[in-house]
Amino acid sequence: QVQLVQSGAEVKKPGASVKVSCKASGYTFSSYYMHWVRQAPGQGLEWMGIINPTAGSTSYAQKLQGRVTMTRDTSTSTVYMELSSLRSEDTAVYYCAREMDSSGYLGYWGQGTLVTVSS
């Protein structure tokens, strides 16, 4: 069965960077695009970007351009999301989510990783 297992919670200081991992299993890693979505406490869902696991190409939300980097390691079927220059507004649960097919809707989700930015 498809599983997306994310790394554990992080506490970071403002200005630092965080790198969250998402290890995929139960399917052919290169066949499906992966997205990152975040959710601030008590708030809605925010789409962050997408990575093509085959080519490594990415597309990011404009709001995060310049601060977010998504990468993948095909040898371990893992995708990564790194966010730099952290500020308090980046405190959120970060989810990786896999497309169901090539259309873009998200059928499989990781368990979420809480990133807390606090001095």
Partner 1 sequence: EIVLTQSPGTLSLSPGERATLSCRASQSVSSNYLAWYQQKPGQAPRLLIYGASSRATGIPDRFSGSGSGTDFTLTISRLEPEDFAVYYCQQYGSSPYTFGQGTKLEIK
| Residue numbers at the binding site for partner 1 (CB under 8 A) | 35, 37, 44-47, 50, 59, 61-62, 95, 97, 100, 103-107, 109-112
Give, in order, the Cα–Cα distances in Å from 107 to each of 95, 97, 103.
Answer: 12, 7, 11
Give, in order, the Cα–Cα distances in Å from 66 to each of 60, 63, 84, 95.
Answer: 9, 9, 9, 20
Of residues 86 and 96, the one with the C-beta less far from partner 1 = 96
Best CA proximity match to 3, nearest among 112, 113, 108, 114: 108
Of residues 29 and 94, the one with the C-beta less far from partner 1 = 94
Give the shortest CB-57-to-partner 1 separation in angstroms. Answer: 12
Burial class (CB in 10 A: 0-12, 13-18, 19+), 39: middle
Of residues 93 and 117, the one with the C-beta less far from partner 1 = 93
Of residues 53 and 110, the one with the C-beta less far from partner 1 = 110
Give the shortest CB-63-to-partner 1 separation in angstroms. Answer: 9
